[in-house]
Amino acid sequence: MKAALLNAPGRISVQDIELPEVGPNEILVQNRVALTCGTDVKLYKRGHPLAKLPLVIGHEFAGVVSKLGKGVNTFKEGDRVVAVNSAPCNECYFCLRGQQNLCENLGKVIGFSVPGAYAEFVSIPDRIVEKNTLRIPENVSFEEAAILEPLACAVHGSELSAIQPGESVAIIGSGPIGLMHLQLAKNAGASPIMISNRTADRLQFAKHLGADLMIISSQEDQVQRVLEFTEGRGADVVIEAVGSNDTWEKALQMARKGGRVLMFGGCAPGTSVPLDTYRMHYEELTVKGAFHHTPASVRKAMDLITSRAINAKAIITHKMKLEQVTEALELMAGGKALKVSLSP
């Protein structure tokens, strides 16, 4: 089959490789679409100690079941399916306490510890088949379904931020994740919604999706703009969706007294930021991190896609062939595309 192999950081080749093996309780999916993701860009640019190269990367995909492993009876050949990249063990300390996103034993992760979806076929590990593979409803396209994984992460984060109707929300970053948070906040009744981005182009999408204030952070003081827009108080809820020390610090500065800050963007390991203890204590800031998804947030995300409460298509800005994967990842790296849909 045709597959895009990451051979070394910055070097991908599209070539013919063996069809993946299908073990017991696994399924083979013929990909119809694979989406690019910020995580793929990071892997492509710098690799990862746990990702053994050469590796087929890509973990946001949807397709058709083409082969069933022994023992699979929940799916049949021809089913349209979407799966996320991992599934929790449901046995560890964290899983037993309902924090499956923090599972200590995630096992096989598609496009990371096992071959991914930038290929004609992808094999779905047994645990993911059992817990995190869903049939795609007829009215949902493969492309829409493929945003399931990042949306499930955003849904998990938005549950932690618990936005109430009428609350003001400031989002830092107008990339795919920021735009998903924007839609989730809007659905929760947030108003006004402010969003910032370094460049103006991505803010156009935010405007289209109903943001009330767009801030070009390379040209304006984004903290000042949020304060002005909230009568000097700051936002009720701030969502950081970039992942840099600068924006983490600014997220804390944008929150009102008693406000809630959701740190959604992951920074490089070892990053730390100063903490204003006065604000934290006397102004009762609540700061939460958010990471990954749970089987419940995966199902909720699927419902949001199916009911079109989330506009999945708005997040996909380019369509390309699998052979153009390097070009697609470079577009992403340059902030020129939100997500690229790759067809094998």
Given candidates 1, 51, 89, 320, which one binds Zn ion under the rule CB under 5 A? Answer: 89
Considering the rule CB under 5 A, would residue 95 count as an interface residue with Zn ion? yes
Considering the rule CB under 5 A, would residue 175 count as an interface residue with Zn ion? no
Q: Which helix (H) or strand (E) holds 52?
A: none
Residue 104: CB minimum distance to Zn ion, A: 5
Residue 111: CB minimum distance to Zn ion, A: 9
Residue 59: CB minimum distance to Zn ion, A: 6
By CB under 5 A, which span of 10-18, 89-97, 110-118, 314-322 interacts with Zn ion?
89-97
By CB under 5 A, which span of 50-58, 88-96, 202-210, 322-330 interacts with Zn ion?
88-96
Opening angle at CA 44, ends 239 and 291, nearest 5: 30
Alpha-carbon distances, residue 240 vs 158, 172, 196 (angstroms): 12, 5, 10
Residue tagged 């992403």 (tokens): 332
Given candidates 57, 68, 103, 328, which one binds Zn ion under the rule CB under 5 A? Answer: 103
Taking residues 35 to 54 in sequence order and writing x for each that binds Zn ion by CB under 5 A, - otherwise, the string is --x-x---------------
Interacting residues with Zn ion between 149 and 168 (CB under 5 A): 150
Contact 101, 48 (CB under 8 A): no
Considering the rule CB under 5 A, would residue 312 count as an interface residue with Zn ion? no
Max Cα–Cα distance, the chain, nearest Å: 63
By CB under 5 A, which span of 101-109, 131-139, 175-183, 259-267 interacts with Zn ion?
101-109
Q: How many CA atoms lie within 13 A of 31 on its CB side?
A: 30
- As a dihedral over the C-alpha atoms of residue 170, residue 296, residue 122, residue 29, rounded to 10 degrees, the angle is -120
Contact 54, 5 (CB under 8 A): yes
Which residues contact Zn ion (rule: CB under 5 A)?
37, 39, 88-89, 92, 95, 103, 150
